[in-house]
Amino acid sequence: MTSIVAVTAHDVRFPTSLSMDGSDAMNKDGDYSAAYVVIHTDDPEVKGYGFTFTIGRGNDLCVEAARQRGLPLIGRDVDEAVADLGGVYRDLASDSQLRWLGPEKGVVHLAMAAVMNAMWDLAARRAGKPLWRLLVDMTPEQLVDAADLRYLSDALTRDEAIGILTDLAPTRAERIADLEERGYPCYTTSAGWLGYSDDKLRRLLQEAVNEGYRHVKLKVGANLDDDIRRLRIAREVIGWDANLMIDANQVWDVPEAIEWMKHLAEFKPLWIEEPTSPDDVLGHAAIRAAVAPIGVATGEHGMNRVLFKQFFQAEAIDFCQLDAARLASVNEILSVFLMAKKFGVPVCPHAGGVGLCELVQHLSIFDYVYVSGSLENRVTEFVDHLHEHFVNPTIVRNGAYVLPTAPGYSAQMFDESVATYTFPEGAYWASR
């Protein structure tokens, strides 16, 4: 028997604000950070790694919340726990005192994501499989038992969920073979940060085209003239056959979003991302009606499954951009995938930051193989930053994620990276 003996949480921050990587209309100077969780067992070979993602200040709040979230795990038998990750999730979520601080949103929910991500990593390692394969090998009933369906039964019943997961079973193997052949398609945001010069933008876009990307994304929303100039450059470089997406990072009110988009429509964006408050279901629905055929996308700040349920019910979005470190891990993400399938909305997960690509590739692969069965209108974000800190980094070839093969959720960072960038006492920060 192997038992969990400790759950440690680490405040790891990378100084990305120095290079303006990640700059957009709302977030001018983020330091990409992870509240990084390690689940320790009495076997030094058996550990689980997970994290949530933040952009700097306040990462310490998530670290402390994750430490508190993880306390009920201590003493549990590993094999019993990984065999019932739905039960583990419900046990952690049932802390009504911590629940008050959300419920199911903000710091305490980010901390749930970090801890449960580490539990899923532990489960996949224990099974000797990459996470996507662990999920693919689970039965529909096992998946639904793990999923958090609370508050969703007006949109998705348990029976419907099992039906969705059963429907595509006969062709699962074909889709795995398909992905092994060509990978899961991704798009790049590395070119389009707002803080980059026109020359750098042009150069990076050309590189993206050369690397085989068919989708690129630019940040917009700070200044209309700048947006028009940058989108013109983008179309010059990528042409009109490739897909151009734009992202306003929540800067607009609803009427402002509709008005601003009138001026950008000529560049035929595939989607406008985060046009307004991420909480505004009805606002997104109004924007979607006004800007069609331009699609509306949101989700990186989508706080929980109840919000996504409403986005689907209100027909408010064309693309669902769930985040692997904001939703409470696979348990909650399963529910969103299932609802997206039922309502016919493609899931194009948010990634970037630090480690989000490493996580999200597993989710998109699972979605295609087991839930959606389709790659149409599906493309997962990729940003080429900070992968060097991960033991099993994402590999992208020809604009597609290569299927991960190492056991786990790809969430483990190198010990040296954690030590160097731990805030504030790690070598990097201590020397500043």
Query: Using the rule CB under 8 A, is 97 a contact of its own copies?
Result: yes
Among 314, 395, 402, 419, binds its own copies (CB under 8 A): 314
Query: Using the rule CB under 8 A, is 106 a contact of its own copies?
Result: yes
Q: Would you say 247 and 218 are in contact if contact means Cβ atoms under 8 Å apart?
A: yes
Among 95, 145, 167, 207, binds its own copies (CB under 8 A): 95
> Does residue 219 have an active-site annotation?
yes
Tokens read off for 353 = 């930051």
Among 6, 29, 163, 206, binds its own copies (CB under 8 A): 29
Q: How far apart are the first and last CA of the chain?
A: 45
Among 108, 138, 234, 340, binds its own copies (CB under 8 A): 108
Cis peptide bond prior to 293, omega within 30° of 0: yes
Number of residues interacting with its own copies: please give it, by CB under 8 A: 61
Q: What is the edge-to-edge ordering of all strands in the sheet holding 4-13? A: 4-13, 33-41, 47-54
For its own copies, the closer of residues 275 and 404 by Cβ is 275
Among 107, 270, 322, 325, binds its own copies (CB under 8 A): 107
The secondary element (H helix, E strand) that includes residue 320 is strand 319-320
Query: Using the rule CB under 8 A, is 28 a contact of its own copies?
Result: yes
State the Cα–Cα distance between residues 102 and 99, nearest whole angstrom.
6
Query: Using the rule CB under 8 A, is 72 a contact of its own copies?
Result: no
For its own copies, the closer of residues 181 and 425 by Cβ is 425
Q: Which region among 152-160, 182-190, 375-383, 400-408 touches its own copies (by CB under 8 A)? A: 152-160
403, 402, 400, 404: which is closest to 186 by C-alpha?
400
Rounded to a whole number of angstroms, the minimum distance from the CB of residue 402 to its own copies is 30
> Backbone phi, then psi, for 349, in 5-degree steps?
-60, 145
State the Cα–Cα distance between residues 300 and 349, nearest whole angstrom.
8
Query: Using the rule CB under 8 A, is 303 a contact of its own copies?
Result: yes
Q: Which region among 23-31, 239-247, 328-336, 408-416 touches its own copies (by CB under 8 A)? A: 23-31
For its own copies, the closer of residues 277 and 377 by Cβ is 277
> Backbone phi, then psi, for 229, in 5-degree steps?
-65, -45
> Backbone phi, then psi, for 167, in 5-degree steps?
-50, -45
Query: Using the rule CB under 8 A, is 309 a contact of its own copies?
Result: yes
Query: Using the rule CB under 8 A, is 307 a contact of its own copies?
Result: yes
Query: Using the rule CB under 8 A, is 195 a contact of its own copies?
Result: no
| Residue 396: strand pairing partners | 401
Measure CA 349 to chain center.
5
Q: Which residues contact 409 (CB under 8 A, 6 or more apart)?
A: 49, 50, 117, 120, 121, 124, 131, 358, 359, 362
For its own copies, the closer of residues 41 and 250 by Cβ is 250
Query: Using the rule CB under 8 A, is 96 a contact of its own copies?
Result: yes
Query: Using the rule CB under 8 A, is 147 a contact of its own copies?
Result: no
Query: Using the rule CB under 8 A, is 402 a contact of its own copies?
Result: no
Rounded to a whole number of angstroms, the minimum distance from the CB of residue 262 to its own copies is 16
Query: Using the rule CB under 8 A, is 152 a contact of its own copies?
Result: yes
For its own copies, the closer of residues 229 and 262 by Cβ is 262
Tokens read off for 409 = 């959720």
In the set 350, 362, 385, 387, the catalytic residue is: 350
State the Cα–Cα distance between residues 39 and 126, nearest whole angstrom.
13
In the set 10, 109, 129, 219, the catalytic residue is: 219
Query: Using the rule CB under 8 A, is 286 a contact of its own copies?
Result: yes
For residue 197, the one-letter residue type is S
Query: Using the rule CB under 8 A, is 280 a contact of its own copies?
Result: yes
326, 379, 371, 344: which is closest to 132 by C-alpha?
371
State the Cα–Cα distance between residues 337 and 160, nearest whole angstrom.
13
Tokens read off for 131 = 């996470």
Distances (CA, A) of 13 to 285, 355, 415: 36, 12, 14
Among 3, 190, 304, 364, binds its own copies (CB under 8 A): 304
Query: Using the rule CB under 8 A, is 105 a contact of its own copies?
Result: yes
For its own copies, the closer of residues 101 and 395 by Cβ is 101
Query: Using the rule CB under 8 A, is 222 a contact of its own copies?
Result: no
Helices 329-343 and 305-313: crossing angle in degrees, nearest 10, is 10
The secondary element (H helix, E strand) that includes residue 184 is strand 184-192
Tokens read off for 114 = 């970090």
Rounded to a whole number of angstroms, the minimum distance from the CB of residue 111 to its own copies is 9
Catalytic residues: 219, 350
Question: What does the binding site for its own copies look like in residue numbers (CB under 8 A)?
Answer: 26-31, 54-58, 60-62, 64-65, 68, 95-110, 150-154, 250, 253-256, 276-283, 286, 301, 303-304, 306-307, 309-310, 313-314
